[in-house]
Amino acid sequence: MTRNSDLQVLMVQAQLSWKDPAANRDHLAELLAGAKGPFDLAIFPETFTTGFLGDTDLPVEDMHGSTVQWMQSMARQHGAAMAGSVVIVEQGQRYNRFILVTPEGSVQHYDKRHLFAFGGENKRYMDGKQRLVWNWRDWRINPQICYDLRFPVWCRSRNDYDLQIFVANWPEKRVAHWMALLRARAVENQAYVIGINRVGADGNGLAYPGRSQAYDPLGNCLADLQDSEQTQLVGIELGQVDEIRQQFPFQADADGFTLDQS
């Protein structure tokens, strides 16, 4: 049976201020206010309040802090879900945490599994232990953060999600990998894939190229935000996921496996 539910997704490709959560929240609120049309879900980049590894010497935030409260306020104001990753401290440990706040009031989170050891992320944060699928408005959503994109086993569908979201601070020098892997995840999992990257440079001198993109379950590109700060609406259709999987039932031939999440 084909499921019927459409979402208007606002892709928010932003330039982030280094180590300035209040400025970033205000700036993102302005980008939301300037959206060209109503939306159901807004997606921000990875570590959207601080920049990547930009939380040193800042006051810590928990799940009751200023950023989660801001996301809740934006969700109420726009009648839409808000999603993106934030540095959260819980029981003395830091996490790069993907947070989804819905207009209905629920707050869900996923902690980044694959920490970017090449950049020292593993020395600052704790890795997540659970692969998650969130259910919202009939959509099954799999959250992922940046470096997770390079690990297809972790990203692999067990016919359990319809939309996979990646939020990132993906650097310019490896942007070709970003685009190739986003499309690959859509094709191999017959799912919508949306990747949101930032633009501009951070306090460590790394440049970020944007190229936030959305793909349908056949790997067709629905949106490419190129290299400038902007927002863009993209419509996704749950019925298309079912139709493509019924027409091309490739997942029935997939290899079974067990994922060790320890």
Give catalytic residues, as residue numbers.
Answer: 46, 112, 146
Pairing verdict, β 221-224 and 163-167:
unpaired
**Cα separation of 242 and 239, whole Å?**
5
Which residues, at least 6 apart from 210, have a Cβ–Cβ distance to it below 8 Å?
13, 197, 198, 199, 225, 226, 227, 228, 229
Q: Which residues pair with 98 in a beta bridge?
A: 85, 110
